[in-house]
Structure 1
Amino acid sequence: WLKYNRKITAQDVGKQYPLQFKFCVKYYPEEVENELVQEVTQRLFYLQVRNDILDGSIYCPPESSVLLASYACQCKYGDFREELIDDPNNFINTDNLLPERVIEQHEISKAKWIETIVKMYKNHKDMLREEAIVEYLKLAQDLEMFGVNYFNIKNKKGSELLLGVDALGLSIYKQDNKLTPTIGFPWSEIKNVSYSNKKFTIKSSDKNSSNFVFFTDHSRINKTILHMSMGNHDLYLKRRKPDTIEMQQMKAQAEEERKTKQNYKDKITRERLAKEEIERKLADMELRLKESNEVNEGTQRQLEEYERKIRELEELLEQSNRQKRELEEMHARLAENKRALEHAKANADEDRERLLKENEQIQLQISKKNIEVEHGSEELRQRQEELERLRAEREELEAKASMLEEAAKAKEKSKEEDVTLGSMEFVDDRREESRQTNISSNIELQNQLKSLAQDLNEKRVVNKMEGIDHIHNENQRLGLDKFKTLRQIRQGNTKKRVDRFEAL
């Protein structure tokens, strides 16, 4: 780490030019949501943590990697939109969202990874980008390697171990396991830290406990450990004291900005919901209009059919009238023949016989015609009744069609309207031991991750898994997480834990 009060060239920065620097966080927070007040701080810290997860500096299991990737999408793009995946040059198609280790260990295509991430991404609808950053960091801070600086050390027996320095205290790890510490010392138990060459000494606030001593390969490592310890311990104390006036003002300002953004978000959400409701109503109106048009078309077809039947009935009526006229003409001829017969009684018998015969034929034709007329009259009566019924139905259909047309016009109208060496201050506040992970309090999210883990395990290539993956799986089987492990490794008094360290 560079010292701000010294020239860069006077520090151990190497001789290669141009010089490259990394802007990184040295001391990690305990609780991101309460400590990172300003949005610019949150975003810069998010970028570092995200990079540490992607390059494997912080171990993250596959299912959690997918969940964090979905929040990363919300941070970068806002709410999900279909066009984000339609363009092959956009979105996840070009973004690095998952650790390479996770991708290599699963026989899953890139398209399937995208589909899995998008499924969770869609659940973050209406979440502000700043909120997504905080949610990402809240999940990341529950990862076991979050904010831990590891150093190779040896105890008095010469056993090679790892020392972890973080915001909560000092932890001892086995060389092959950076996930699960075996012994822990909270900052509240540490009274003084010092080093001499390769030897590092920690004095406990417990008078019955001997000093906690370990060794490193170089004094520079001890110097770094000292600085990290002093800085983390100082912040540990500050978090357990009332906020300064300056911090209170910063938090008040941040809260005001948060409320302003929340109000804006609520307004946008209301407008979006109102727009969706209008679009839904318009779609419903269009559907009803389409249905009414279909009904109108059916009604028109019925009307045309009725018109055809009416024309047929009118033709039949005309035919019946014509038959009546013919019958009347026959009756007239019969009467005339009768008169002629009476007049010709005196005529010759053959004329009389001829007239009688002709009269019989006419009488026979009249009888046949009467029968036809009677049948025609009955059929005509039935057809007239049917005609009256059809006319009534036509009038009813025309009235219904008129009503549908008026309703369609009304719908169309409504559519348009819309460091320094020194002693450390003692503080007896170990609130971190009562904490739980964010996921443990969210049953729905637990179920989602459990289901996703099962799906991913089916596609996982076991011989590509690393030792840290097996350690994580075993911790899960035992029901352990970061804070449950923390409570376990701090059990017993300080003396017992120091003795355990010496025995390793």
Structure 2
Amino acid sequence: MPKPDLLCLVQLLDNTIQTFTVNKQDAGEVLLEQVCNQLGLQERHFFSLQLRDSNTTIVAQTHSPRWLEANKPLKKQLKGVVSPFYLTLRVRFFISDPNSLQHDQTRHMYFLQIRSDIREGRLKCPLSAAVVLASYAVQSELGDYSPDLLPGYLSKSHFLPEQDDDFLSRVEALYPGHRGLKQSEAELCFLNTARTLELYGVELHNAIVSTSVCLPLTLPSDAPL
């Protein structure tokens, strides 16, 4: 077998970074398969990898990063890019009904993706819906509310690009009502709330309409670019 000669650093949906090695002759799907195997993802057709320019941009959010093409050799897609190569795992295809997803791990990845999109401002969310979503996220991460939690226990939690104490107080008030929900159940409730958002499953891309004007363009997440 040829010796692996491409080092790829992939940022996962929990923001950890994992290292993978592939051959330059391999197609993009080989790397994606490695990542999905590492995570135990079975419904991998919903996911893909996005290319980043360098380690300085792996955690930065850009409007129109390139998707790794599944059937194209990596050496052609990474041409001109210095090793190691930086990519991010993302949900590429958003299903309209999250209840149709077959595996908890897939729903968990959807949950992480949407929470990140809301937190980073990529998915706009009315404040009332944001409170509900955040309360389910807290239930997922902390489990049932306990009176032993100290006041301000959410003070370091980040749910929105801009949030204030009033927002966190509303989340804290709603969270105890989710008692009894398991992590997977709380995340499914989160997804069923998120699916009602106007821009659920839509990506924003920059469209240049003149030499000096750049406007955001909304496209379904599965639209060809």
Among 188, 192, 204, the alignment partner of 1:134 is 188
1:27 aligns with 2:89: no
Which residue of 2 is the match for residue 481 of structure 1?
A: none
For residues 162 and 22 of structure 1, what CA distance do their matches in structure 2 show?
A: 22
Taking only the aligned residue pairs, the percentage that are identical comes to 26
Q: CA separation of 1:161/1:95 partners in 2, compared to 1, >3 Å: closer, same or farther?
A: closer
Give the letter for the 1:22 counterpart.
T
Contact 1:150 1:164 survives alignment (8 Å): yes
1:77 aligns with 2:142: yes
Task: Summarize the alignment of residues 403-422 of structure 1 with structure 2, pairs less than 5 Å apart.
Answer: none
Among 161, 177, 188, the alignment partner of 1:100 is 161
Deviation at 1:164, TM superposition (A): 3.4
Which residue of 2 is the match for residue 119 of structure 1?
A: 173
Q: CA separation of 1:145/1:10 partners in 2, compared to 1, >3 Å: closer, same or farther?
A: same
Deviation at 1:37, TM superposition (A): 1.5
For residues 43 and 143 of structure 1, what CA distance do their matches in structure 2 show?
A: 18
For residues 68 and 133 of structure 2, what CA distance do their matches in structure 1 show?
A: 31
More helix by share: 1
Q: CA separation of 1:18/1:99 partners in 2, compared to 1, >3 Å: closer, same or farther?
A: same
Q: Give CA-to-partner distance per residue, 1:361-414, whole Å, 9 cap, x none.
A: xxxxxxxxxxxxxxxxxxxxxxxxxxxxxxxxxxxxxxxxxxxxxxxxxxxxxx
Which residue of 2 is the match for residue 352 of structure 1?
A: none
1:165 aligns with 2:225: no
Q: CA separation of 1:73/1:9 partners in 2, compared to 1, >3 Å: closer, same or farther?
A: same
Deviation at 1:61, TM superposition (A): 1.5
Among 18, 38, 42, the alignment partner of 2:84 is 18
For residues 174 and 136 of structure 2, what CA distance do their matches in structure 1 show?
A: 8
Deviation at 1:45, TM superposition (A): 1.0
Give the letter for the 1:144 counterpart.
E
3-state DSSP of counterpart to 1:21:
strand
Point out where structure 2 has 5 or more consecutive residues left out of the alignment. Answer: 1-66
More strand by share: 2
Point out where structure 1 has 5 or more consecutive residues left out of the alignment. Answer: 155-159, 171-223, 226-504
Q: Give CA-to-partner distance per residue, 1:45-97, whole Å, 9 cap, x none.
A: 110111001111000112211111100001111111123335x7xx423322x
Deviation at 1:153, TM superposition (A): 7.0
Deviation at 1:147, TM superposition (A): 1.1
Q: CA separation of 1:20/1:85 partners in 2, compared to 1, >3 Å: closer, same or farther?
A: farther
Deviation at 1:144, TM superposition (A): 1.2
1:145 aligns with 2:207: no
Q: CA separation of 1:13/1:146 partners in 2, compared to 1, >3 Å: closer, same or farther?
A: farther
Deviation at 1:165, TM superposition (A): 2.9
Largest Rg, 1 or 2: 1
Give the letter for the 1:120 counterpart.
L
3-state DSSP of counterpart to 2:219:
strand
Q: Give CA-to-partner distance per residue, 1:292-347, whole Å, 9 cap, x none.
A: xxxxxxxxxxxxxxxxxxxxxxxxxxxxxxxxxxxxxxxxxxxxxxxxxxxxxxxx
Deviation at 1:4, TM superposition (A): 3.2
Among 115, 124, 130, the alignment partner of 1:50 is 115
Which residue of 2 is the match for residue 9 of structure 1?
A: 75
Q: Give CA-to-partner distance per residue, 1:267-303, whole Å, 9 cap, x none.
A: xxxxxxxxxxxxxxxxxxxxxxxxxxxxxxxxxxxxx
Q: CA separation of 1:16/1:63 partners in 2, compared to 1, >3 Å: closer, same or farther?
A: farther
Deviation at 1:163, TM superposition (A): 5.1
For residues 57 and 141 of structure 1, what CA distance do their matches in structure 2 show?
A: 15
Contact 1:54 1:100 survives alignment (8 Å): yes
Contact 1:150 1:162 survives alignment (8 Å): yes
Task: Summarize the alignment of residues 82-481 of structure 1 with structure 2, pairs less than 5 Å apart.
Answer: 82-85=147-150, 91-96=153-158, 98-101=159-162, 103=163, 108-109=164-165, 112-151=166-205, 152=207, 164-166=218-220, 224-225=224-225
Deviation at 1:31, TM superposition (A): 1.2
TM-score by length of 2: 0.60
How many residue pairs are counted as aligned between the two chains?
Answer: 155
Q: Give CA-to-partner distance per residue, 1:135-178, whole Å, 9 cap, x none.
A: 11111111111111344276xxxxx97653327x98xxxxxxxx
For residues 170 and 178 of structure 2, what CA distance do their matches in structure 1 show?
A: 14
Deviation at 1:128, TM superposition (A): 1.5
Deviation at 1:14, TM superposition (A): 5.5
Q: CA separation of 1:14/1:138 partners in 2, compared to 1, >3 Å: closer, same or farther?
A: farther
Give the letter for the 2:201 counterpart.
G
Q: CA separation of 1:153/1:114 partners in 2, compared to 1, >3 Å: closer, same or farther?
A: closer
RMSD: 2.8
Which residue of 1 is the match for residue 125 of structure 2?
A: 60
Give the letter for the 2:84 counterpart.
P
Q: CA separation of 1:116/1:7 partners in 2, compared to 1, >3 Å: closer, same or farther?
A: same
Give the letter for the 2:155 counterpart.
N
Q: CA separation of 1:60/1:15 partners in 2, compared to 1, >3 Å: closer, same or farther?
A: same
